[in-house]
Each structure stands twice: as C-alpha cells, then as structure tokens.
Structure 1
C-alpha cells in the first residue's frame, strides 16, 4: 500500500541560474572587488569564484595569498585578454558566453589560466571549427601563433595549412599587419603557397612593410620576381603607387621580369639557373597558369565521365592539358543486349566509387622549336575547395607529375566518405594549376 501520497519533482534550475547570473558585478552581497591591470574594477563573490575555478579557490585561500585577506584583489592580465575579462567572469556566474572569432582566443587563454575546463575545451573546438573564415574576421594568423605557444598541435597545423592555401583571404584579415617577421619569412619561402600571382604577394608585403621599412631588404628577397606577370609589374610601377624604397627595389628586379617573359628559356638559362627558387612556380590561381572547374548538378549526376582541356603559359612555354574526371566513380559497359520483344539494355561488368582524375599533356609548345622536353617536366596541382558559410576555401591540395606523351592519374581524388563535404549548392569546385619544372642540364 502506497503511503507516501502524491509527489512531484520541481526543476527550477533555470530560475536559479538566472538569479546567480544577476549577481554578476553587483555590489549587493559582494565580498570582494577585482581590479584588473589597475583599470578594470569588478564586484564579485568569493564563493562563486572558488566553486567555479580551482585557481581562484587557491588564490582566495587566505593562508596562501596575503592579498586575499582584504576586500580588493589586484590581477594582471595580458592586454589582449583585458577587454574580454568581464565576459569570462560573467561565464563563471552564468555558464553562458557568446563565442566569436574576436574573443575565442582570449577566453581560451583566460580559461586555461584559471583552470575552467569546459570553457577552455569549448573555445578550442570553436577555433578548430572556424579556422576557415572570411578575411574581415579571419584569425588564422593569431590563432596559429597562440596554438604554437599553448601546445595546441591540431589547431596549429590547421591554421598553418589554411594560411598557406588561402593567402588571398589571410591578406585581407585584421591579423595580416600584425604577422611576426619570422613566420612571414617562412611563409614567403613556400612553393606550395596558394595565391593569385606574385604581384598580389608583393602588394600584401608592401602593406606589411609600411610600418616596418627596416625589414624591406630581408622580406623582399623572398619574392619570386621572374614569376610576376609583366602587366601586373607595370601597374605596380605606376607613379606614386609605392614608397620610394620599394619602388627602387622593384625597378632593380624589373629587367629580369621582362626578360623572363619575352626571351626563350634557353636564353635566360645562359645567365640564370632556371632550377633556382626565384624561377620556381608557386600555386598561382591566376588564369595564365590555372583553370577553375566548377561541377554543378552533383546530386543528380550519374557515374559519368567529365572532360576538360586547359592551356597554361609559363614564360614562353605553352602547355595544353587534357583531363578526365569521374566525380562519382566508374561504370564500365562492355556490350548492349537486345531482344525482339524488349528494349535494349546495358550490361555493366565493372563499377566502383573511385573519383578518378586522369591527366595528360597533349601539347607543349616552346617559342624555340628546338627546345628539348628533357629540360623540363610538368606537374598538375588540384586545389579542392570547401564552402564554409557561403565562402569557398582551399582545404586540400593534391599534386601529380605528368610525363610528356603519357598519362598520370589520381586514383581517388576525394574518397566517397568525404565527398559530401566538398559539395555546396549542388556544386563541387576545383582549381587546376599547371606547373612547369625546369631540370638541370648543360643548356636549356
């Protein structure tokens, strides 16, 4: 027989949290005042700080910290964290905070310092998920610097990849002007740098150098001037377009730029090593050496083959490429059966899900017809894009060597399990970058 009578479980946690949240920075019932960097003053409650943070609990132990005996505690925080300290403290009261690319790093640093584990992990995951962000709010540079110092290996790696493969976005970010000389110098030496062309890189570097003219010689030496399109060079040299020091430096390099694009490669090779870094292509997305390949209607597409031809020009060497791509895999049919009472039907003898990309060089036409194919080879780099909140970013690069008169293949460009991540608005987007690689020889 039930003698307890009616029962009901009350859940007023939301009301309780609202009440606690309302105590934030209220003088009523507060028993402590935090003064941060001698500028920010906040009324707090010892109990809430001690319960929410092990570090605060230790600091407020009067036997360990003499300052905690009074009603005013002085704290010192990093300047970048100061503006976000109230949000951090409010989180201790409410368990709620709005994360964005502007505050995630500071809140992670504060939660790391004060051992607030849930907030720290949430900030880490937020940064990992938002490395790819539009230029105006992209923080890959500062997040990379912080991740390296804080030992966040995965975040460090993702930021470094994003910076190298989406430099046009990073250049527009608020972090670009604050990039440190060491990482910038390393970045400029990379051949896998994805950027529109070398002239865009020069303009970005000129902007970075504006408050640092003393770094000009060091940084400008990393640019690959023979790779600069002559028409873009001409635009850069417009009167008044550059600071005097940069204009003079560019003028000294301009003769080689025009020579490299007007003379046969064998003539340039008499005075320059074409295998040296200045003559090595980066992953340029300008139309002269690359082609975008948008693939619409992906959802309804069958296992069909797509074909594409493209032309690239590297100095005086014009290359024709032929590509075939199976976005969803192969379906190979060997014969068609018919019956006098039925329509014909195809017999499928082989089928797979491999997104195979095949590439061949179908034409290689140097200005000098005596030029030997032995002096250069070809590579094709495929830039794979993902769409993040309406913006397309390079998230993977795959490269293959393509022999003269032969064919090269990437067996599975995008594995089936990952393919949906590369489709947005029923479209897949690739960029094909054709590269010429000069090889050592007695003469070119």
Structure 2
C-alpha cells in the first residue's frame, strides 16, 4: 500500500507541475476512437529531471563508494523511479535497512554514476567515447536493457571516431568480458577490415595478446602487404616484450610465402625480432623459399603445403588489385581494366593477367530474370529498378592459368566521421551476384547515402590467386 500511495502522489505532483507550467498541447490527429491526443511528456521529463537535481521529495540516499573508499558520492533519489527502471535496484531498495543504500563501483563507473542515475529519470544522456564502457557496464549490472542496447549501438556507430589512444580494441576486450557478441564481432570486423590504418595508430601497440592472435589468424585482414603486417607485429613485440612462446606463436602466424624473396632476405638480415626467434620459424621460411623457387603445383606433389601460409589476405598493393572510384554510380554501366601478377609465387610473379571490371547500377538478379520470350529470344538483363552488380573477368584465357584459381574480393569503402573505411567485403569468383546481397541497402540514388563519397562509389578490387591443390578454408 505504501508503494501504491507513493506512485499516486508522484504522478499527481508531476501532473500539477506540468499543467501549471505549459499550455495544453493538442495533437490534431485523432486516434482510432476519434479522440484527440493530449501530450505533456516533455514537461514530465523536465520535471523529473528537476526532482533528481534538487532532490525534491527524495526518500533514499545513494552512497556510491570506490573499492578503496577514497571517493564517496551521495545522491538523493526516489525509490519509485529507480525501481521502475531497474529490477536490480528495485530488489536492493526493497531489502535495504535504513534510508541509505550503499553501492560499490569501480572508479570509472563511479565517475559516470550520476549520468547513469539521471538517465533513469530522463531517458537521455550525453557522453564521450571514454564513458561508453563504464556506462554500458552499469546498464548491464543493473539490468537497464534499453540503455544497454542503446550504448551498444552507440559504440558500433562510433568505431571510426578519432581518439587520442584509440578505443576499438578496448571496446572489443570489454565486449568479450561482458559477453556482448554483437559489439565484439563489430569491433573485430572493424579492426580486421581497417588494419592497415590501425597499424599506424596509437592503439596498435596496446592490443592484447589474445586479440593480436585472433587478428593474425584471419584471412580477411586488409593491409598493404604481408610485409606491412610483419612490421606491425615487430613493433608490437618490441613494445610489449611478450614471453617467448607468445612471440613465437605470433611470428608463426605470419604468411611468409606471400612475401617476395627479396623481402624475405631483408627480414633475415635486418629484423632484430626475427633474428631472436628465427629458429622458431625456420621451417616456415624454408618452405616459403621452396614455394618461390619451384612451380607451386609441382611442389605440392611432394610437400604438404595445404595451409594458411599459402592463402593471400586482402592486400591493397597494386600487384594484387586496383582501386576504382565510380562517379555518379546510378547513371549507367561503367568499365575499366587493371593488371595483377599471375600468382604469389616468384615462379609466377613476372607473369601478368589483365582484368576487365564492369559496374552496372541496374542489373536484375539471376533468380528474378526471365531468360526467354515466347518467341524464344533472350530477354535483356539490364533493367530499370535492378540492383548494382560488379563483374570481374580476365581479358584473355591462357594456358598459364592451369592449376590456378582466382578469388575476387571487392572492398566497398564508406565515409564515417570524416574517415574512409571498409564497410563491406564481398568474395566471389566472377560476379557480385553470387553474394545475393551486394549493396542491397546502399540506396545510391540518395546523395546522403553513407556509401557515397563526394557522390562517388569507392571500390577496391583484390585478386587472390590460389593454386588449386593449395586451396583451403581459413
């Protein structure tokens, strides 16, 4: 009965405050019953905020302490409001002794606790990047699910924001700890797809050994070359000085066979890290030199080389592909051409393959395409209202292609917070139509589309040659 009485008194007080302060607002659109709608919701929120800031009618004092009790915060609050928003606080308030409820929080969470409580009253908050994790931790601890989801969305939308020491790796570690799978996967994908820029940031040397190994094992890393990745790893090892086993495992995740022999020789003579741990990767270096010296197809007859060492990542260097800026992508079909090396092995590196690439903004999906008319003639497949499509084909067939398959990878870049980043990656053999969802939600007709950079679609095509006997899933 006491709780019911408090509810009634609170609502009566808020109604008096709102109606006294604001003229009646009438929404001219009647509801299903033909009645108009009266709305004082904004004033209600404003009055609740005043109640929190001034402590009017409070019945509980929150005492927020840090573990070593060197910082204490006192807040006059209303048990009803907190109980309605958080089942955890509702239980703690119900079983408390006295008018004070003591809560122990980490220094980071204590610093933003007032923001958290204000959200329970007002339903909004302002925050900086570094405050997202402690606020998310509080929302999770006290089971304020709406705020928890909102903060997850905020973090996913702000992965590309500039910060002095970086924040994505820290958010990944937190998501891993908190069990937030959606946030964890978004952070990991961002780091992998934009690793070339992450390697040059202040965040790189601070990533954990667990995150480092998770990244090194991926084939979808976007970097200039394997040499760039090795240089980043060398910097990480020099800065963090991990134990020998960790360093060896990390060095063994490098794909040395994707480096030209001249780079391998330079590493062996100039890298202090490789000199220290060379014995642990000697077999990989030896196999890489063999890979470059002989025909890879011939080599596969005698050695077990079916491993990630021989699978290219998404390399941005010109020998692996080409960037392409498609201006006014909704206008008409566009095409261009570029060259890559036949294969990663030095045996094939001097051989060049010319590729033709076609972009069509309105291509009917294969599953919806009527192939023949009643007279038996083939129907055109380029139609108004169709979806974008990219086709990549070799300019000529060649006997040199024997034993080699080509996976095409298309990077779609977008602009976020003023930075160009990889938004999507599509893998296919000839056409993006194989994916089924290529640019499905891009809406290229809308000039404000996040897929457009100054009105253009920015793409990067990567050709990943793999010797057929070496193809493996990674």
SS at match of 2:134: helix
**What's the offset of the Cα at 1:271?**
6.7
2:337 to 308, 315, 318: 308
2:362 to 301, 306, 329: 329
Aligned pair in 2 of structure 1 residues 9, 323: CA closer, same or farther (>3 Å)? farther
Residue in structure 2 matched with residue 283 of structure 1 by the alignment: 314
For residues 216 and 323 of structure 1, the distance between their equivalents in structure 2, rounded to whole angstroms, comes to 42
**What's the offset of the Cα at 1:192?**
2.4
Residue in structure 2 matched with residue 418 of structure 1 by the alignment: 442
Residue in structure 2 matched with residue 116 of structure 1 by the alignment: 144
Q: Deviations over 1:189-236 (max 9, x none)?
A: 222222222122223323333231331112211111111245555665
Residue in structure 1 matched with residue 15 of structure 2 by the alignment: none
Task: Judging by fraction of residues, say which structure has more strand.
Answer: 1
Residue in structure 1 matched with residue 374 of structure 2 by the alignment: none
For residues 469 and 61 of structure 2, the distance between their equivalents in structure 1, rounded to whole angstroms, comes to 76
Aligned pair in 2 of structure 1 residues 323, 74: CA closer, same or farther (>3 Å)? same
**What's the offset of the Cα at 1:416?**
5.6
Task: Judging by fraction of residues, say which structure has more helix.
Answer: 2
TM-score of the two chains, using structure 1 as the length reference: 0.74
Residues 59-70 of structure 1: pairs in structure 2 closer than 5 A = 59-61=92-94, 64-65=95-96, 68-69=97-98
Is structure 2 residue 419 aligned with structure 1 residue 391? Answer: yes
Aligned pair in 2 of structure 1 residues 265, 89: CA closer, same or farther (>3 Å)? same
**What's the offset of the Cα at 1:114?**
1.7
Residue in structure 2 matched with residue 440 of structure 1 by the alignment: 469
The question of whether the paired residues in 2 share the 8 Å contact of 1:355 and 1:414 is answered with yes
For residues 60 and 416 of structure 1, the distance between their equivalents in structure 2, rounded to whole angstroms, comes to 49
What is the CA RMSD across the aligned residues, in angstroms? 3.9
Residue in structure 1 matched with residue 32 of structure 2 by the alignment: none
Q: List runs of 5+ in structure 2 lacking aligned partners.
A: 1-18, 23-42, 365-378, 445-449
1:192 to 216, 220, 235: 220
Is structure 2 residue 408 aligned with structure 1 residue 380? Answer: yes
Q: Deviations over 1:371-397 (max 9, x none)?
A: 864322222111122221222222222
For residues 111 and 174 of structure 2, the distance between their equivalents in structure 1, rounded to whole angstroms, comes to 18
**What's the offset of the Cα at 1:123?**
0.8
Is structure 2 residue 242 aligned with structure 1 residue 212? Answer: yes
Residue in structure 1 matched with residue 393 of structure 2 by the alignment: 360
The question of whether the paired residues in 2 share the 8 Å contact of 1:198 and 1:223 is answered with yes
1:409 to 431, 447, 464: 431
**What's the offset of the Cα at 1:356?**
2.8
Is structure 2 residue 182 aligned with structure 1 residue 154? Answer: yes
Residue in structure 2 matched with residue 341 of structure 1 by the alignment: none
The question of whether the paired residues in 1 share the 8 Å contact of 2:268 and 2:274 is answered with no
Residue in structure 2 matched with residue 338 of structure 1 by the alignment: none
Residue in structure 2 matched with residue 4 of structure 1 by the alignment: none
Residue in structure 1 matched with residue 21 of structure 2 by the alignment: 10
Q: Deviations over 1:271-317 (max 9, x none)?
A: 7544332122112112221211111233xx52223222322352232
Aligned pair in 2 of structure 1 residues 329, 360: CA closer, same or farther (>3 Å)? same
Is structure 2 residue 456 aligned with structure 1 residue 427? Answer: yes
Please, which moves more after superposition, 277-286 or 158-167? 158-167
Aligned pair in 2 of structure 1 residues 259, 363: CA closer, same or farther (>3 Å)? farther
Aligned pair in 2 of structure 1 residues 123, 162: CA closer, same or farther (>3 Å)? same
For residues 46 and 173 of structure 2, the distance between their equivalents in structure 1, rounded to whole angstroms, comes to 41
For residues 60 and 117 of structure 2, the distance between their equivalents in structure 1, rounded to whole angstroms, comes to 14
**What's the offset of the Cα at 1:425?**
1.0
The question of whether the paired residues in 2 share the 8 Å contact of 1:224 and 1:277 is answered with yes
How many residue pairs were aligned?
Answer: 398
